[in-house]
Amino acid sequence: MHLANYRTSIILGITFTLLLSAFWFFPDLAFIIFLSLLLQLLLQPPVDFLQRKRVPRTLAAGLVVIAFIALLTGMIVLLSLSFVPTFRNFVADLPTVTLSLQNIPFVSESEFLRSELGDVLANLRSLSTDLLKSSLSFLLEIFGKFMAFVIIIFVTFYLLKDGKSIKIWLAGLFPQASKKRVLNLFNDILRALRVYIFSQIVMCAITGTVVFLYFEFTGLPYASVFAFLSGAGEFVPVLGPTAASAFGVFLTATESSTLVLQTVLFYIVLTQINHNFVYPLLIGKSLNLHPVAIILGVIFGGEILGPAGMFLAVPFIVIVKLVIADIYRDQQELGKQREEELA
């Protein structure tokens, strides 16, 4: 066994082991770097477009970042005017909603369910005030992390400006004979992550809009809250949509017993259309992740970074999968070469 033949694969394995360790030992720093990378992938197409129009790349990167900040500010203002007030009302009504759940026939007939909901109600009564205060200070908490936001913006800007040079420099750290292989791997990773980000944004927009329209047309309350939860849930594959759907069905049960079955069917149809038609159409076969891997990754990410880790879990799994596939493919090629030499 010649270690030189495996040198690039060993370096790749060590590199991504260190990357995983960084999430464990330096979660805040790892989160900033990884989020900056995802943001750079999101903003790179308009930067490339402006560069093709003969706008200097540095200026193009600056203009796109400024436009993104303006768009983000507008979304925050919109949320503060529409979503936050509705969310405050929803939080204030949570104990009442839980009481209504206890009066649902199959719940009221079960001693176990009544006991469990009673505990939930007691917790909600104590937590509702804190949650309400949290919702009121939502924007303040965002600005409380202003420095992290500034760092992410600056890192994103330099990734947009010098991303190609950085990629070539990183590939240069590997053996010269493997430079092309490593560059191809980087390109595959960035391409897969870009597909994932855009597909999740589209899924988020579609799901949020459809849920909002359903709640509005059926007269169910808190349409913007459940639209937001359903849309945001798409960023946590498998578990997110399931939790949002269950939450929506439980709320419907407290408002109208005649709409429960209809809401269940609505969420089933929406989920089936999204994940059997829309999602495959958006991502093709570029990701092809097994649901079990996604669930375990989301749980593991949540343990390390909380909600942020659940959001970053799938992109990280994509990277690990592509690296392992590249190492495996390289070893297969080396095996074929050895067989040819022996023959």
Q: Among residues 172, 193, 203, which one has the least CA distance to residue 36?
A: 193
* 0.95 exceeded by pTM: no
Query: 67: domain range?
Result: 3-342
Which token pair is 130?
């804190």
pLDDT digits (tens, 9 = 90+) for 99-154: 666 566 555 555 655 565 556 555 555 555 555 444 445 455 555 567 778 888 99
**In the chain, how many domains are there?**
1
CA atoms of 151 and 104, how far apart (whole Å) = 50
The H or E element containing residue 168 is helix 146-171
Cα 109 from Cα 107, distance rounded (Å): 5
Closest by CA position to 230, among listed 270, 197, 290, 280: 270
Q: Which residue has the higher pLDDT, 219 or 27?
A: 219
More confident of the two residues 2 and 176? 176
User: Model confidence over 197-231: pLDDT tens digits?
Assistant: 888 888 888 999 999 999 989 888 888 888 888 88
